[in-house]
Structure 1
Amino acid sequence: MFTTGQLIFAGFFVVVFIIAMVYVYRKDLGLHKMHYKGSYKILLGFLAFIALLVIIKIYLKE
């Protein structure tokens, strides 16, 4: 389905992309800690909302 060159390019791209993301994240780690304090609460609320929607869907399906 894919040529060897395309697979090599995809693998190289993924590796370089992951390395770049780790580098940028570590570079901005101090800013993240300062500006995004407590953002995990938003994530937990969002996940709870999605879980509630799934529960309501299952309940109404029966």
Structure 2
Amino acid sequence: MFSKDQLIFAVLFFIVFVIGIAFAYRKDTGLHKIFYKGSYKILLGFIAFIGILFLIKIFFKR
């Protein structure tokens, strides 16, 4: 399916990508605290909305 070299490239790319993302996130944590203060409320709202849709689906299925 994949050659040995392709798998090595994929693993190395994934490792470097994760390290790069972690470095960029650490660098921007100060900005995240300033500009994204109440973002957890939006996440909770989305989770509640999906939960309500799931409950409506169960309720009308019976």
In the superposition, the TM-score normalised over structure 1's length comes to: 0.92
Structural mapping, 1:1-62, within 5 Å? 1-62=1-62
CA distance in 2 between partners of 1:33 and 1:53 (Å): 31
Please, which moves more after superposition, 28-37 or 50-59? 50-59
Q: For this pair of structures, how many residues does the alignment match?
A: 62
* Aligned-partner residue type, residue 41 of structure 2: K
Deviations 1:14-57 (A, max 9, x none): 10110000000000000000010011000000011011111111
* Aligned-partner residue type, residue 12 of structure 2: F
CA distance in 1 between partners of 2:53 and 2:17 (Å): 34
What are the ranges of 5 or more consecutive residues in structure 2 without an aligned counterpart? none
What are the ranges of 5 or more consecutive residues in structure 1 without an aligned counterpart? none
The alignment yields a C-alpha RMSD, in angstroms, of: 0.8
